[in-house]
Structure 1
Amino acid sequence: MITTTAADGSGVRAYDEGQGPVILLLHGGMDDGESWARVAARLRSRFRVLRLHRRQYRLDLKTGEACTMAEEVEHVRAVVNLIDEPMLIVGHSSGGVLALESLVALPGAFAGAVLHEPPCVIGPPLGGEALTRARAAMAAGRPSRALAIFLRDIVRTPAWAAWMSGAFVSLVPRLGRLVPHQLDDCAAIDEVGLRLDAYSRIDVPVVLLGGERSPAHLGERLDALERAMPNTERVRLRRQGHAANNLAPVQVAEIIAELGDEVLRDPSRRK
């Protein structure tokens, strides 16, 4: 584990594994980076892999006020300043939106990026009325229902899967404590809003990674990014969905390593 301090004095921490060119992994919702451990294990023999424990999901840092995407970018900035060398940034789900915002805010810090289905705003808000209902359920002391609403109506997972995930939360107290953070994460993405114009200025090589079994709207968001950004490659994982990092870690690691080799080990091919 490495630790450092952001400009506002808050503590920053990341799992630190392996040696070599640096890959920074930004996890998605309801997580602390552990969901990317199997991918990291397949990369650490060739790369130094940092899995940031995102500020949005730090139970020790949240004080009742919602965490903004800009505050999360400052934690990424702190890691960039600490490492002080070009790196590949990888973002999954809402961590992909954080990766996009970091690429905009920190030009020159990253040699490339892999974005696994970031739910960036491309039109209407991501959460909208469904987020209002999920927050109401949370306020009523029903985190299981709040998560089920989020998964069914915002992520758009099948109703049965959303219900099962919500029910599981009631059995694992720690997950229940993360539900309001997930809702705050969704609200933070809506606060960022439509940023395709800003993302169009990201000119490093970017792999847009999706799964053929993922909710259709995530593919539509990748479509919009592909149209907007100048230097992208689209990769679609067969028989995989939004949790490919857990279910197909070998494939995901290979995709990351291929771009890492290109932009970090072969400077002549950097944009």
Structure 2
Amino acid sequence: RNISFYGMSYGLGFALGPLGLWLLDYGMLVPFAALALLCLLILLLVLMKLPDSRPEKLETGARPARRFRRSYSWAWYALLPAFLYGYMEASLNSNFPVYGLRIGFHTDEIAALLPFVSLGGLVLQLPLGIWSDRWGRKKVLISVGIAGGLIFMLMPWSGNHFMLTLVLLAVAGGLVGSFFSLGLAYAADLLPKSLLAAANVLASFHFNLGSVIGPNISGALLDYGTQGSMFLVLGGSYVVFGLLGLLFQKRISTA
């Protein structure tokens, strides 16, 4: 539940970001100026309100040996959601506008549709976190991964029907929008405390890797495949993830 609050703030930024397209009516530089102003405000809040605390230093020899390899070995399945989340966010934010224009959406409609992916994630972020506390992280990840993937795969058949596209994006985004935080929470279940910092680094690396790979794969699919192939591959990757979960077994780990 607590990690879900982190995911909610993350998703809120992705939900509000595409609305910056509406600022283009006031000039090409206005969205960038607004972003710079927001960054400045956050910097002031950090300087004024954030406690100036420092992490405790590890004692000599306290750092676990082969911590990244051991994190992969024990929690590889829990680290995959970060990659899929980065792949999804970057693919949709960079390539959905191209997809939307090609099938007949207007710029204003695209700007209105994109935030609903993250808004759906915001709505279900906390409930999914609570349910994962109750029923288990793995069961929730498998269930929402398969369900969200199947809904993404329905996207090509919605065409340029605005409301149907909105509903599909919101539901799919709601189901898989918690993947980053749920994956971190699951890694915390699988790993000893001494390896959590390494797992967090690996999750961030996976997110960035997905953010780089996603737009390139989806862009290539738009150029050389069918119009909806980017959603078939995106949804299929979540379904494959869910099926892999049926094979993953928790290993007993020691610090």
Query: Into which bin does the TM-score normalised by the smaller protein fall?
Result: under 0.3
Looking at both structures, which has the greater relative contact order when contacts are Cα pairs under 8 Å and sequence separation is at least 6? 2
TM-score, reference length from structure 1: 0.23
Normalized per residue, the structure richer in strand is 1
- Which of structures 1 and 2 has the bigger CA Rg? 2
Normalized per residue, the structure richer in helix is 2
